[in-house]
């Protein structure tokens, strides 16, 4: 019986990617966001923050119902989102994208 050759195939690859700074944006903060495909932005509360996405809870316009949308870090890096957020509405943070990195002002 011959030994079979075992091939090792990489299942995942390490790549450089943009991730959210989970210290800068926290759940419970108010947020206004507009994707480039939307006519108008939406306001809401950040309900979850991960390295790859922010989940925003927002009013759906139907009585006591709520909806949500996701903001993906890769889309933010590609300048597809306009985003402003605040903890107390006294200081409003705004996303600014530069050629070399993503900045918060």
At 24-58, the pLDDT tens digits run 889 999 999 999 999 999 999 999 999 899 999 98
Tokens representing 30 are 């108010």
Tokens representing 8 are 């090792």
What is the average pLDDT score of the chain?
82
pLDDT at 105: 44
* pLDDT of 23 strictly over 70: yes
**Contact residues for 19 (Cβ-Cβ < 8 A; gap 6+):** 51, 52, 73
* pLDDT of 102 strictly over 90: no
Rounded CA gap, 17 and 58, in Å?
A: 28
Residue predicted with more confidence, 47 or 15: 47
């Amino acid at each position: 019986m011959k030994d079979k050759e075992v091939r090792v195939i990489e299942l995942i690859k390490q790549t450089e990617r943009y991730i959210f700074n989970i210290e800068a944006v926290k759940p419970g903060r108010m947020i206004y966001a507009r994707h480039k495909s939307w006519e108008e932005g939406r306001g809401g509360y950040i309900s979850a923050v991960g390295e790859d996405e922010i989940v925003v809870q927002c009013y759906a316009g139907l009585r006591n119902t709520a909806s949500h949308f996701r903001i993906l870090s890769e889309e933010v890096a590609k300048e597809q989102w306009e985003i402003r957020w605040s903890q107390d509405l006294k200081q409003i943070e705004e996303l600014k994208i530069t050629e070399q990195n993503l900045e918060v002002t």
